[in-house]
Structure 1
Amino acid sequence: MIAMRNIVCALFHHFRSSEDGAVLTEALVAVPFVTLFAAGVLEFGNIFWQRMQIDSGLRDAGRYMSRCRPRPDPTDPTCDETAKKLAFYGTQASGAALRVPGWGDNLADITIIPVDVNGTITVQTSHLYRSSPIFSWLGIDAITITSSHQERYIGW
């Protein structure tokens, strides 16, 4: 019995004074937090990138609409459609890739408010950000990116 007690005490003293597994233990504690932090930084960076792309698209659409000549037929949506294509795709050409995935597939995500009493055109949109599963694990609700742009109507 005394021999068993001496063996247990020796093993306990060895584990207590040994530093062989200290790095592994610290890594097991730190790596999940560092990984979660890095993924969060990348996710928020993607949100800001999409916001910048949406702002750029709205600016392009607003600039186009500020120079677009009103048509005699108010049902002719040529200016609106061209401005929306510029916002969503960055070009009028068909087959181009969307600036932001999921934004503007059907050209209905942008609202164009025609010239108001101040002589400005407003272009606005809302886009539901498609996040990674990290946000749902953390309990963060869906993020909606909302933006608008105003341009003074210049005309041709």
Structure 2
Amino acid sequence: MLVALRKIIRHFKGDEDGVALVEVAMVTPFVLLLAAGVFEFSNMLNTRMLLDAGVKDAARYMARCSSDWDTCSGYAKNLAVNGAISGGSARVTGWTTGEVTVSKSLSTPAIDSGTGTELYLSSTANVDVVQVSTSYPYAGVGFWSYLGFGQISLSVFHQERVLGW
């Protein structure tokens, strides 16, 4: 039996037919895994950029809104999620106005007392700042969940100095 096995091995020892097929068969799973990772990461990055654009739009709107806080806040949340103060179409699938938080920080110091850095150019010692934030559960991890990656939460916030009110 051992002699027969040696003859078979000697027969194929110098033969290079099919080597490329074997190499491709060995490398293909790793290339597909890498491609899946690139596609998933780019989709996650795109989603974060859309969230960031929505939050910035809402903060800018709130900083310049001249109506009452509740009206402006509702419009700003819709602007963040749908790209318009009323109606519009969703920027990110599954992102709702309930996941957007709008808050106002009263009397924020214009100069950082610890470092002396001027945070806001102002003739007064304090300025009003509005902050819009969101936390979106990114569930589209897909194939990566098999490798132990769980659900990812994308968090974004933006601050603007209040010019209205």
So what's the TM-score if we normalise by structure 2?
0.80
Superposed CA RMSD: 2.1
Aligned to 1:82, which of 72, 75, 78?
Answer: 75
Residue 140, structure 1, aligned to residue 149, structure 2: yes
Identity of aligned residues (%): 38
> Which amino acid in the other structure matches residue 8 of structure 2?
L
Distance 1:70 1:19 in 2: 79
Which residue of the partner structure matches residue 15 of structure 2? Answer: 18
Question: Whose strand proportion is higher, 1 or 2?
Answer: 2
Q: What are the Cα deviations for residues 68-109 of structure 1, in whole angstroms up to 9, with x where unaligned?
A: 1242xxxx7321111111111112342x331111111xx100
> Which amino acid in the other structure matches residue 120 of structure 1?
V
So what's the TM-score if we normalise by structure 1?
0.84
Secondary structure, aligned partner of 1:77 = helix
Secondary structure, aligned partner of 2:155 = strand
Moved over 4 A (4+): 4-10
- In the alignment, structure 1 segments of 5+ residues that lack a partner are none
Residue 100, structure 1, aligned to residue 109, structure 2: no
Secondary structure, aligned partner of 2:107 = coil
On the 8 A contact 1:115/1:153 being kept in 2, the answer is no
Q: Say if 1:10 and 1:93 are closer, same or farther in 2 by CA, change over 3 A.
A: same
Residue 11 of structure 1: CA displacement? 3.5
On the 8 A contact 1:127/1:145 being kept in 2, the answer is yes
On the 8 A contact 1:61/1:86 being kept in 2, the answer is yes
> Which amino acid in the other structure matches residue 98 of structure 2?
A
Distance 2:41 2:2 in 1: 56
Distance 2:20 2:103 in 1: 61
Distance 1:128 1:97 in 2: 19
Distance 2:84 2:67 in 1: 21
